[in-house]
């Protein structure tokens, strides 16, 4: 089933994907919908309740001294279906705060901050590359004893996640892809220009550093959003706080210079998708200035049974469409988990 946002369905594909009804008990579904409704229409008479999540650092540092920050559900649900969200540039695990709040009573969500992001601490001489970040994330998964989960890939989290999936296909119960590109046609001209920069390109560092300012960070949240009032300032303000910490902008710059290694692996990941055919849900902000809509549709070549939903929003689709996306993820988990 392919959909362009709520209310404008485009149906195709096998009948088994044509259902939109969740298989969760009615009482649990009503609770989920009430929680999502509060995200869309908060009641000013009720005090704000913080998300059902806790943030901590891993008890043991990796061998190189890095300690991942973790945002996770505060209690274990009765049915243990694990979601592993991989955050994107320039954000951290806090981008999943609303999703954890909405789904945390039914599913176990564990969202790490990658080295160079959020609450994670890394040694000053850490080498920032996608291979190295994937190594740290893989070690962190092992340290938690996880051996099966649905992986949520977004932005930088997609190349990190696909590296892990390639190493451990047995870990992957399914994929939720939200503006996580893995295709040449999913790169806009702006993205190609940015990702084509090298340390030897004249003016490259100035171009990247300009993107890491407060105005640059805010624009990533608001570009492509029809109504910017839907974007709360919390996300980009916290992103900028972390970006302004010592060494963080240099970390992001190093990863941008290394992004070409992801493009070089695209064909390999396409083959992985065709070989393993994981259950896949694609939710995509169609107006993403970096990863436009063709990148979402391209997945259907390699995973033709994937379920695709397109939304009239930008890069950070959860910021504007959480009430629409969270039930899709819940329904997908109930159907995909085996």
Residues labelled catalytic = 315
- Cβ density class 232-256: b for 16+ within 10 Å, e for less: eeebbebbbebbeeeebbebbbbbb
Structure tokens at 148: 């099966």
On the 0-12 / 13-18 / 19+ scale of CB atoms within 10 A, 61 is middle
SS3 for 258?
helix
Question: What whole-number distance in Å separates Cα of residue 243 and Cα of residue 250?
Answer: 9
Contact 224, 289 (CB under 8 A): yes
Neighbours of 48 (CB within 10 A): 7
Contact 181, 187 (CB under 8 A): yes
Question: What whole-number distance in Å separates Cα of residue 295 and Cα of residue 284?
Answer: 9
How far does CA 152 lie from the centroid of its chain?
Answer: 5
Residue among 280, 278, 303 nearest 172 (CA): 278
Contact 96, 84 (CB under 8 A): no
Give the length of the chain.
Answer: 338
């Amino acid at each position: 089933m392919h959909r362009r946002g709520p209310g404008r369905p485009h149906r195709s594909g096998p009948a088994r994907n044509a259902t939109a009804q969740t298989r969760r008990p009615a009482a649990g579904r009503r609770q989920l919908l009430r929680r999502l409704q509060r995200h869309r229409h908060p009641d000013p008479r009720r005090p704000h309740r913080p998300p059902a999540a806790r943030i901590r650092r891993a008890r043991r540092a990796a061998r190189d001294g890095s300690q991942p920050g973790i945002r996770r559900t505060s209690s274990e649900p009765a049915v243990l279906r694990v979601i592993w969200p991989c955050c994107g540039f320039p954000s951290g695990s806090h981008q999943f705060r609303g999703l954890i709040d909405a789904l945390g009573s039914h599913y176990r969500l564990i969202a790490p901050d990658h080295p160079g992001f959020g609450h994670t601490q890394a040694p000053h001489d850490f080498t920032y590359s996608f291979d190295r970040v994937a190594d740290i994330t893989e070690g962190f998964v092992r340290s938690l004893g996880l051996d099966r989960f649905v992986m949520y890939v977004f932005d930088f989290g997609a190349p990190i996640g696909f590296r892990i999936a390639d190493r451990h296909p047995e870990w992957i119960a399914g994929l939720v892809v939200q503006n996580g590109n893995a295709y040449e046609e999913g790169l806009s001209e702006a993205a190609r220009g940015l990702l084509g920069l090298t340390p030897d390109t004249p003016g490259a560092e100035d171009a990247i550093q300009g993107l890491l300012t407060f105005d640059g960070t805010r624009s990533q949240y608001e570009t492509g959003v029809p109504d910017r009032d839907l974007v709360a300032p919390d996300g980009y303000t916290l992103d900028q706080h972390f970006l302004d910490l010592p060494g963080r902008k240099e970390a992001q710059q190093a990863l941008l210079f290394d992004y070409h290694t992801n493009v070089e692996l695209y064909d390999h990941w396409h083959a992985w998708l065709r070989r393993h055919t994981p259950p896949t849900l694609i939710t995509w902000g169609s107006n993403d200035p970096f990863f436009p809509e063709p990148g979402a549709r391209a997945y259907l070549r390699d995973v033709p049974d994937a379920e695709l939903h397109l939304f009239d929003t930008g890069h950070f689709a959860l910021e504007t469409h959480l009430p629409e996306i969270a039930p899709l993820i819940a329904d997908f988990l109930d159907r995909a988990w085996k």
